[in-house]
A = this chain, B = another copy of it.
Amino acid sequence: MSTDIQSSPAERATPYSKDAITHFIYRYGLLVVLALMIVVFSIAHPFFGTFANAMFILQASAIVAVVGLGCTISMTVGGFDLAVGATMSLVVMVAAGAMVIYGFSGPVAILLGLAAGLLAGLLNAMLIVYARIPDLVATLAAQFLVSGTTLLAVNGQSISEGMSLGTTSATGTFAPIFKWLGSGYVFGVHSSVIVAGLVFLAVFALLNLTKWGRIFYAIGGNPVAAAAVGIPVRRYRIIAYLLSGLLSAVAGLLLVARSNRGDVSVGDAYLLQAVSAALVGYAVLGANRANAFGTLIGAVFVATLINGLTMFNFPYYAQTFVQGLLLGVALLMSYTLGPKSKR
C-alpha cells in the first residue's frame, strides 16, 4: 500500500522534475485541451474561428468569470462563498427596481446595486468573522437570507419595464448605461467583455502582485500563523468577502443589463458555474489553489466548449457528457500525470 502521505507538499510544489514533457502537461494540461478544442472546432466550422464568434465566447464567459473571480478571492482566504448566486439575484432586482419602479438614473442604480452586493458580502463576513460560524455554513445561511430578502422585497415578482404596480404601471425604463452594458461595443469588443477583462486584471494584480494578495493566500494557508506575524486576519477576511460580494454585484449588473429585466432567482444558476470555473482553475499552470488566471481559463473553457458543441448541433443532452469528459481529461492531465508524488 502506498498512501498520499508520501507526497510531501514540498514534492508537490516543486514540479521541477527531469521529465520535461510530463511537467509541461502538468502545468499546461487544461490550456492544451482548450487549445486543441479551439483548433479542432475552427477547422471543422468556418464560423467558429471568426473574431465575431470569439467575442461571443468571451461574452458568454464574462459573467461567469466575474462571479468566479469573486469566489476565487474568498477561496484564497480559505473560505467559500455559497451566497454569490443569491447576491447576484439581489443586485439584479435592486438595479432593475431602482430604474423601473423608482425611476432612478443609471449611475444611481449601479451604485445601489454595488452597495447591495457589498451588504451581502458584509453579511457573510459578519456571520463568519464575528459570529464565528464556519464559512460553508455561514454562507449557506446568508444565501437563504439574501434570497429571502430579494423575494420578500418584490413579493416574488419579476421586474420589467411597464410592469403593473397594483393600480398603475411602472414608468421607469432601463438607463442608457445599462443598454450600453448590455449591447455596447468598444472597438468591436462587447462592453461586458471589457468589464470582465478589467475585473480580471484587477483581481490578478491584487492576488499576484500586491502584498494584499500575499496576505490573502497566507490567511488561506494558515490563519493562526498569519495572525502570529501580525496580520489582521479578521479584517482581511472581511475584505475578501466584501470583494466577493462586490464582484457578484458587478456580475449582477452585467446580467441585468443583458436581460433588461429582473427575475428573482436569475443569479442562482451562476453559483455552480462560478464555483466550477474557480475549481477548474486550480489545475491551471499547476497552481493547485484558487487563482485568477485559472478561474478566467475555467470560465472560457466551458464557454468555448458549449459554443462549439452548439455550433455542431450537439443535442443539449449530449453537451453535459462531453463537458464532463473534457473536464475529466484536463484534470487527469493536470493532477494524475503531474509530478508523481509516489515512487
Residues of B near A324 (CB, < 8 A) are 141-148
Interchain residue pairs with CB less than 8 A apart (17): A3-B223, A4-B227, A5-B223, A5-B228, A127-B328, A127-B331, A131-B331, A134-B288, A141-B324, A141-B327, A141-B331, A144-B321, A145-B328, A147-B320, A148-B321, A148-B325, A151-B316
State the copy count for this chain: 2
* Given A141-B327, A142-B324, 12 extra CB contacts under 8 A: A1-B234, A4-B223, A4-B234, A131-B332, A132-B338, A133-B335, A140-B276, A143-B324, A145-B321, A148-B323, A149-B321, A154-B317
A265 CB to closest chain B CB, in angstroms? 9
Q: How far is the CB of A194 from chain B (nearest CB, A)?
A: 29
Check if A188 is an interface residue, CB within 8 A of chain B.
no
Q: Which 10 A-B pairs have the closest CB atoms?
A: A148-B321, A144-B324, A156-B317, A145-B324, A151-B317, A148-B320, A3-B227, A131-B336, A5-B227, A133-B335
Chain B nearest CB: distance from A93 CB in Å?
12
How far, in Å, is A109 (CB) from chain B's closest CB? 22
A12 nearest in chain B by CB position: B132
A36 at interface by CB-CB < 8 Å: no
How many Å from the CB of A77 to the closest CB on chain B?
Answer: 12
- Does A282 sit at the interface, judged by CB under 8 A? yes
| Nearest CB of B to A307, in Å | 17
| A338 nearest in chain B by CB position | B132
- Whole-angstrom distance between the Cβ of A269 and the nearest chain B Cβ: 11
Which of A154, A156, A280: most chain B CB closer than 10 A?
A: A156
A311-333 near B? 1/0 per residue, CB < 8 Å:
00001111111111101100110
A297 lies within 8 A of chain B by Cβ: no
With A and B bound together, what is the CA distance between A130 and B335 in angstroms?
10
Question: Is A136's CB within 8 Å of the partner chain B?
Answer: yes
In the bound complex, CA of A282 to CA of B130 (Å): 18
A39 within 8 A of B: no
Question: Quick one: closest B residue to A230, CB to CB?
Answer: B1
Indicate whether A264 reaches chain B with its CB closer than 8 angstroms. Answer: yes
Residues in chain B near residue A155, CB distance under 8 A: 315, 317
User: In residues 1-49 of chain A, which contact B (Cβ within 8 Å)?
Assistant: 1, 3-5
Q: Is A279 an interface residue (CB 8 A)?
A: yes
A320 vs B276: C-alpha distance in the bound complex, in angstroms? 25
B145 to A325, Cβ gap below 8 A? yes
Q: A232 at the A/B interface (Cβ < 8 Å)?
A: yes
Contact partners of A55 in chain B: CB under 8 A: none
Complexed CA–CA distance, A279 and B143 (Å): 13
Q: Nearest chain-B residue to A340 (Cβ)?
A: B132
A152 interface residue, CB < 8 Å from B?
yes
The answer to whether A343 has its CB under 8 Å from any CB of chain B is yes
Q: Which residues of B contact A283 (CB under 8 A)?
A: 137
A214 at the interface (CB under 8 A from B): no
Q: Which residues of B contact A127 (CB under 8 A)?
A: 328, 331
Using a CB-CB cutoff of 8 Å, which residues 264-308 of chain A contact chain B?
264, 275-276, 279-280, 282-283, 288
A331 to B332, CA, bound (A): 39
Is A224 interfacial (CB-CB < 8 Å)? yes
Assess A342 versus B234: contact at CB under 8 Å? Given A152-B321, A264-B317.
Answer: no
Which of chain B's residues have a CB closer than 8 A to the CB of A147? 320-321, 324
